[in-house]
């Protein structure tokens, strides 16, 4: 998860705020570690919990030594006092944690050996406090003046741990509601306490104070240390020894010989940053502008008075009935002709406006003509979505018949596809699936995109060419598009039919576990038919229609915790299609952790 390390002087006043803003997504991934899932669900085995708490002693010693170094090197008396005060508060927090240990097992602190993942953090903090910082020359801290910058670096490396646990506590509080017997309620409430939040804020305020005199480059070092510390801390939670079954990651219990993971996903906006239709529209406009540039700048003297200004000089006044508009009379019949740029822009404006207006009308009609369901009514949902399907087909026909897609070069489409920007974490997720040799998985893009070549090109590099693409296609003549769309996937029924056909083509030698990742109304049927349907930031229209037909949308993490409770009791879990429940996430990173369980970095 790379960040922009360029920090302005204004941001330097609140470097702690900048760092947390940039890396709080990484902190959220800690929720998806098996250890935290078991903790939140109340199913974590006692020995594992005690082993975790037993590492606190090593953390505390590392923090104490780091604070001593920070106090030693700062030349600010107020900062020295603040560091001593923070150390006292940190000692109190440690004593609270230690009291939990005493209640459970008085000797656990001496029994617990230093965990390798704990060692990674303590060594990192020790190295930072001694000036051994990656990317910084050791000679930099030879002078007393340069060593005064070490306290800022030390706190940049210390704070993520405190901030992460304060944040985790708040996130996990909801799982205590209605569960007064949750065996880890005390530790969760302690993490969510005002005292820990106050400790985190005081540390952050001190970091801001210590960083105020740093240069832009030195501030970037603080940020890198903060990022590294957050990665190590998430890794610490991920690396906790867990001798029990956990519902995540999905890949953990995957049987290579007996199971097959089939991942379907929507491409536009779910995977791509910009919708493919907008990209293709922009390409036609640019192409038309180039065509305009090749037109004569001045009208010939003998040009007819009533001939359109932008008409080619050899264009007759009355075109043959079947000849494309703006085509010169000597144009070969099979050669594709581009429309003029003004016509293209105007046509796209009209198409876009018509689509938006009719879509809203379609959704409103759909809701008004069907009664609200209390639970999933798949049959009535299908009937309702026929209106949407018909609308999508009319919209595609309008685009195809307009001719605006004529004249696009296949090689240019592929080049643009290769340069497409994908959503943060999307490419990393698919790469991790492909590289995982312990996972028998296939990946399928189900898309209403007009041109499948654009999608294939987007996945043509970085080992992603194995992604199967199911979408519409252009017809090309001598490398130029004719403007005709070969319609294969136009709406919800085409998508779910393709979904079913893909699964039916597999042999019955393995059990399929299906995951569909979507984000629009056209994905609804596939999302419900999949064992696990996931939506990334679903819009209000989708949620509104879904709720109307009895679909529940719940955060994926909450669903995982509920599954873990069942898993712990029955020693088995199942994800079922047509359950009426769809899961929501805010990023691909959550999906990555849910399925793969590895630390997500992009």
Q: What is the 3-state secondary structure (H, E, C) of 266-297?
A: CCCCCCECCCHHHHHHHHHHHHHHHHHHCCCC
Q: Which two tokens stand for residue 511?
A: 């059990």
- To the query of whether residue 233 is one of the catalytic residues in this protein, the response is yes
* Residues 154 and 132 sit within 8 Å (Cβ to Cβ): no
Give the model's confidence band at 397: pLDDT under 50 very low, under 70 low, under 90 confident, else very high: very high
411/140 Cα distance (integer angstroms): 52
Residue among 170, 248, 247 at smallest CA distance from 592: 248
* Active-site residue (options: 38, 67, 112, 161): 161
Regarding the domain with residue range 9-243, which homologous superfamily does it belong to in the CATH classification? Heme oxygenase-like (1.20.910.10)
Sheet harboring 511-518: ordered strands across?
Answer: 468-470, 441-446, 259-265, 511-518, 532-536, 581-585, 552-555
- To the query of whether residue 231 is one of the catalytic residues in this protein, the response is no
Q: Start-end ranges of CATH 3.40.50.1000 in the chain?
A: 259-275+410-595
pLDDT at 310: 41
116/111 Cα distance (integer angstroms): 15
Share of the chain above pLDDT 70, in %: 85
pLDDT at 304: 43
pLDDT at 306: 44
Whether the pLDDT of residue 421 is over 70: the answer is: yes
Give the model's confidence band at 332: pLDDT under 50 very low, under 70 low, under 90 confident, else very high: very low
525/577 Cα distance (integer angstroms): 10
Give the model's confidence band at 151: pLDDT under 50 very low, under 70 low, under 90 confident, else very high: very high
416-to-272, 411, 463, 524 alpha-carbon distances in Å: 13, 9, 18, 29
63/158 Cα distance (integer angstroms): 7
Task: Please enumerate in sequence order all residues whose Cβ is within 8 A of that of 78, keeping only pairs 6 or more positions apart, or say none.
Answer: 209
Task: Please enumerate in sequence order all residues whose Cβ is within 8 A of that of 44, keeping only pairs 6 or more positions apart, or say none.
Answer: 35, 38, 184, 244
- When pLDDT is averaged across residues 392-416 and rounded to a whole number, the result is 94
What are the tens digits of pLDDT across the range 267-280? 999 999 999 999 99
Task: Please enumerate in sequence order all residues whose Cβ is within 8 A of that of 574, keeping only pairs 6 or more positions apart, or say none.
Answer: none
3-state secondary structure of 199: helix
Range in 210-214, 224-228, 450-454 with the lowest mean pLDDT: 210-214
Range in 75-84, 223-232, 332-341 with the lowest mean pLDDT: 332-341
pLDDT at 136: 82
* Residues 86 and 24 sit within 8 Å (Cβ to Cβ): no
pLDDT at 254: 85
3-state secondary structure of 445: strand
pLDDT at 312: 38
Whether the pLDDT of residue 459 is over 70: the answer is: yes
Task: Please enumerate in sequence order all residues whose Cβ is within 8 A of that of 496, keeping only pairs 6 or more positions apart, or say none.
Answer: 525, 526, 529
pLDDT at 321: 42
Neighbour tally for 439: CB within 10 Å: 18
Task: Please enumerate in sequence order all residues whose Cβ is within 8 A of that of 356, keeping only pairs 6 or more positions apart, or say none.
Answer: none
107/174 Cα distance (integer angstroms): 32
pLDDT at 207: 94
* Residues 13 and 232 sit within 8 Å (Cβ to Cβ): no
pLDDT at 59: 87
pLDDT at 56: 81
pLDDT at 318: 41
Whether the pLDDT of residue 7 is over 70: the answer is: no
Q: Start-end ranges of CATH 1.20.910.10 in the chain?
A: 9-243
pLDDT at 4: 44
Task: Please enumerate in sequence order all residues whose Cβ is within 8 A of that of 70, keeping only pairs 6 or more positions apart, or say none.
Answer: 83, 129, 150, 151, 154, 155, 210
347/8 Cα distance (integer angstroms): 44
What are the tens digits of pLDDT across the range 499-532? 999 999 998 889 999 999 999 999 999 999 999 9
Whether the pLDDT of residue 8 is over 70: the answer is: no
Give the model's confidence band at 108: pLDDT under 50 very low, under 70 low, under 90 confident, else very high: low
* Active-site residue (options: 204, 223, 233, 590): 233
SS3 breakdown of the chain: % helix, strand, coil, rounded to 5? 55, 10, 35
Residue that wins the pLDDT comparison between 463 and 175:
175
pLDDT at 179: 86
Give the model's confidence band at 104: pLDDT under 50 very low, under 70 low, under 90 confident, else very high: low
Residues 259-275+410-595, CATH architecture: 3-Layer(aba) Sandwich (3.40)
Range in 49-58, 160-169, 430-439 with the lowest mean pLDDT: 49-58
pTM of the complete model: 0.85
- When pLDDT is averaged across residues 14-34 and rounded to a whole number, the result is 92
Whether the pLDDT of residue 122 is over 90: the answer is: yes
Write the burial class of residue 204 (CB in 10 Å: 0-12 exposed, 13-18 middle, 19+ buried): buried
What are the tens digits of pLDDT across the range 62-88? 888 999 999 999 888 888 888 888 888
Q: Which two tokens stand for residue 12?
A: 């330097």
pLDDT at 343: 86
Share of the chain above pLDDT 90, in %: 62
What are the tens digits of pLDDT across the range 282-322? 999 998 887 666 555 554 444 444 444 444 343 334 433 44
Give the model's confidence band at 205: pLDDT under 50 very low, under 70 low, under 90 confident, else very high: very high
Give the model's confidence band at 534: pLDDT under 50 very low, under 70 low, under 90 confident, else very high: very high
């Amino acid at each position: 998860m790379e960040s922009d390390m360029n920090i302005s002087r204004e941001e330097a006043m609140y470097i702690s705020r900048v760092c947390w803003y940039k890396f709080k997504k990484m902190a959220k991934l800690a929720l998806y570690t098996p250890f935290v899932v078991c903790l939140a669900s109340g199913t974590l085995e006692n020995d594992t919990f005690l082993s975790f708490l037993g590492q606190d002693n090593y953390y505390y010693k590392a923090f104490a030594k780091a604070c001593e170094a920070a106090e030693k090197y700062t030349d600010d008396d107020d900062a020295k006092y603040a560091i001593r005060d923070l150390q006292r508060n940190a000692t109190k927090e440690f004593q609270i944690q230690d009291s939990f240990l005493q209640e459970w097992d008085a000797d656990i602190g001496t029994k617990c050996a230093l965990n390798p993942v704990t060692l990674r953090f303590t060594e990192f903090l020790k190295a930072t406090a001694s000036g051994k910082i990656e990317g910084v020359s050791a000679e930099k801290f030879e002078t007393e003046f340069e060593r005064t910058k070490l306290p800022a670096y030390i706190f940049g490396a210390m704070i993520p741990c405190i901030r992460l646990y304060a944040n985790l506590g708040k996130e996990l509080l909801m799982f205590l509601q209605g569960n007064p017997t949750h065996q880890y309620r005390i530790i969760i409430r302690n993490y969510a306490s005002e005292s820990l939040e106050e400790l985190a804020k005081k540390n952050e305020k001190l970091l801001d104070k210590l960083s105020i005199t740093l240069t832009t480059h030195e501030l970037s070092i603080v940020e890198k240390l903060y990022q590294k510390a957050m990665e190590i801390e998430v890794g610490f939670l991920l690396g906790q020894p867990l001798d029990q079954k956990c519902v995540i990651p999905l890949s953990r219990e995957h049987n290579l010989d007996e199971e097959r993971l089939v991942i379907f996903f929507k491409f536009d906006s779910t995977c791509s940053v910009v919708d493919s239709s907008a990209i293709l529209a922009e390409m036609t406009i640019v192409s038309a502008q180039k065509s305009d540039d090749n037109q004569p700048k001045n009208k010939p003297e003998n040009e007819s008075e009533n001939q359109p200004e932008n008409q080619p000089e050899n264009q007759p006044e009355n075109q043959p009935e079947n000849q494309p508009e703006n085509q010169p009379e000597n144009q070969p019949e099979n050669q594709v002709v581009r429309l003029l740029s003004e016509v293209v822009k105007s046509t796209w404006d009209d198409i876009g406006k018509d689509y938006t207006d009719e879509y809203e009308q379609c959704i409103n009609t759909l809701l008004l003509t069907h009664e609200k369901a209390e639970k999933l009514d798949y049959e009535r949902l299908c009937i309702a979505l026929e209106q949407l399907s018909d609308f999508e087909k009319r919209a595609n026909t309008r685009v195809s018949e307009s001719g605006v897609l004529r004249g696009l070069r296949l090689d240019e489409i592929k080049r643009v596809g290769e340069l497409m920007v994908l959503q943060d974490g999307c490419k990393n997720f698919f790469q991790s699936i492909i590289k995982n040799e312990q996972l028998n998985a296939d990946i399928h893009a189900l898309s209403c995109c007009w041109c499948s070549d654009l999608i294939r090109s987007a996945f043509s590099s970085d080992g992603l060419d194995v992604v199967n693409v199911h979408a519409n296609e252009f017809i090309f003549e001598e490398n130029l598009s004719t403007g005709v769309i070969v319609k294969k996937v136009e709406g919800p029924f085409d998508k779910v039919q393709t979904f079913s056909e893909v699964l039916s083509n597999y042999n019955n030698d393995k059990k399929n576990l299906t995951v569909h990742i979507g984000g629009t109304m056209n994905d609804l049927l596939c999302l419900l038919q999949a064992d696990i349907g996931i939506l990334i930031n679903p819009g209000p229209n989708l949620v509104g229609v879904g709720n109307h037909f009895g679909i529940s949308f719940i955060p994926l993490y909450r669903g995982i915790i509920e599954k873990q409770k069942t898993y712990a009791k029955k020693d088995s879990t199942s994800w079922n299609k047509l359950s009426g429940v769809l899961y929501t996430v805010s990023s691909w990173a959550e999906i990555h952790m849910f399925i793969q369980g590895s630390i997500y970095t992009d």
